[in-house]
Amino acid sequence: MYPLPMTSTPPHMTMTDRLALWTATLGPVGRFPAAPGTAGSAVAALAAPWLFLPLGPAGRLLVLCLVFVIGALAASRAERLLGRKDPGPVVIDEVLGQWIALWPLSTADPWAMLLAFALFRILDMTKPPPIRQSERWLPGGYGIMLDDALAGAAAALVLWVVW
């Protein structure tokens, strides 16, 4: 464990450690001084029209599965490297949750995307049951990813009903 401030990088990191930390934090996005989770969600929403929304259901599911597994592995390593459980700079989980929230959209309609963004952020920040409890259902990075996946699924359900 490294008792370092969240803006520091632990010394003596391997290349794999650096890659995992870069993936978990989306490079500089997780180091955003205020609301890194919102910054991560915004980056995910802005990237979605090119990287997620053009895909069909099978492609979207594959991308989400890859983001979940890679994100969980990176987040687990980031927890170890940063010496904290669910460290603030880890925002790869926001990509997963935001893209799940965008699942009902067939196109990049700006108003629908804004609604999906707002719904996901509200649910991710307030974490109503069982979202808050879900982080404890799986260990390490898998729990980090799961609560955002559930917040995204709840946001997608609301979006599907109202849009």
The span from the first CA to the last CA of the chain, in angstroms, equals 46
- For residue range 66-94, list pLDDT tens digits in order: 999 999 999 999 999 999 999 999 999 99
Segment 47-53 shows an average pLDDT of 98
Structure tokens of 140? Answer: 């390490």
Q: What is the pLDDT of residue 136?
A: 84
Q: Is 140 left (phi over 0), alpha (psi -120 to 50) or beta?
A: left
